[in-house]
Structure 1
Amino acid sequence: MRLPHPLTGELYESPVPPGAGWPEDPAARSTAVAHDAAEVVELAQTDDLAEIDARVSVCRACSRLVEWREEVALGKRKSFADQPYWGRPIAGWGAAEPRVLIAGLAPAAHGGNRTGRVFTGDRSGDWLFASLYRVGLASQPTSEHAGDGLQLLGARMMAAVRCAPPANKPTPSERDTCSPWFHAELKLVLPSTRAIVCLGKFGFDVLLNALQAVGGDVPKPRPRFGHAVEYAVPGPYGEVTVLGCFHPSQQNTFTGKLTESMLDSVLTRAKTIAGL
């Protein structure tokens, strides 16, 4: 597996040992790298989903996020000191022609930034994948890292911001710089998608902005986020139903704001709408 060097940005062979379970790197040495917002706009203009994944995986457009994700990957958390860190942006993953989309905010510093898969490697991911398995949208109840064999069944995951942000809070500028990746991927998977589950208000708002950007007729007045809310959004891709869901953060799950049955209910509803 190749990683961008924290100082030079050049791709190099990482020290991940053989058999560590990582999938093949989506990027090649010839993959174009975005270094600023203008280059993101330019490089997001492709109709090849695999190429979007590759270009996302080596993006270096936001200097604060690049510095943070690589600092974390080099320093590591003590409990993960013996594990390799991905330390790069996280591309969307799952079915290329999904019926259900799951949209969130960004990867976590010691979650997706470590494991190479969004929503993976922390308590939030544990909750999410257990629920996806219970309702029949995932092939196994746990997600350990990007090469563990897990498959999403008729579903795909995307994050509004592709790099782990400090304090889990990307800036508006970072959100906007990353949005062309999100819009491009969304446009390619929308023709098959019938339901979109948004985890948290940030993901909900960004998803509505993205739908509007790709031609969706977002309702007026603008939809408000809430758990289990549903909004139909027609567009050139057909009609999709956007569902709100409380984020499975520890703050929400520990306090009972989000329960297993509440999460299962929203995902089951999305699956039903999607005809799965």
Structure 2
Amino acid sequence: MSEFHHRTTELPLTPLTDLAARTLADLLLPERAIDDATRDGILLRAEGNPLYLRELLTSVVEESGQDRSRSWSVSIRHLLPSSLESLFVARIDRLPPEARRLVQVAAVIGREFPVKILQRAAPSEGFDDELATLLRADLIREVRRYPQLECTFRHGLIQEAALSTLTPGRLREIHGRVGAAFEEFFAGSPHDHLELLAYHYYRSDDQSRAMAYLEQAAERAAGLGAAPQAGELLRRAKKVADRLGDVQSARRIGERQARLEVAP
């Protein structure tokens, strides 16, 4: 083809429109196979990719059982069909070791990630080359360059596949490094990012830091009038305190929970 490039035309394949995706889903699904909420969740996760949509629908229908006498509601929050998982994991496994390590760290940061945070969490002399490898492999793409370079996974299912290649211990380790990277990056304004810091440390081995940020985030949420959010953060902080065997902190957090519940 390189000899006849002047005779070729590039046709970019854009995602299906919402209407087209719904029409395809209706064609692929048995009548009343799943409820509307489950179907909408699948459409959202497929992001307009017809292959991903078909595989997600197939997996959900198979999981819902053989009884077609009623509509089924199936949890799709952590569903990654084996066919797609194998496809994505195979692409990740073909990467050089350094680039594979980088995409795993990027997946822990999130669907979109600041490149500066990725570099802090996964420092390497060949960082730029490793990032370029992920871009060329079409696993990630740039979303903005200003005020700082940020990238995103081409598809949310690719991020999930990258996460699936991590052991629980490795996942906790990376969450700790990502938390430390954000902590250093936001050193001048940590109070604006308390929930983000709490999120990563809560999933790391540094539970003392997790408890501290959860309490701070809860206090900030309560001050903004977001009582349900503050209550959930305190619940997690109490869980951490109990896990650590920190009786004094558990008592303090419990008292704050009680005050929050009786607040007007």
Bigger RCO (CA 8 Å, 6+ sep):
1
- The TM-score with structure 1 as length reference comes to 0.26
- The TM-score with structure 2 as length reference comes to 0.27
More helix by share: 2
Point out the structure with max Rg over C-alpha: 2
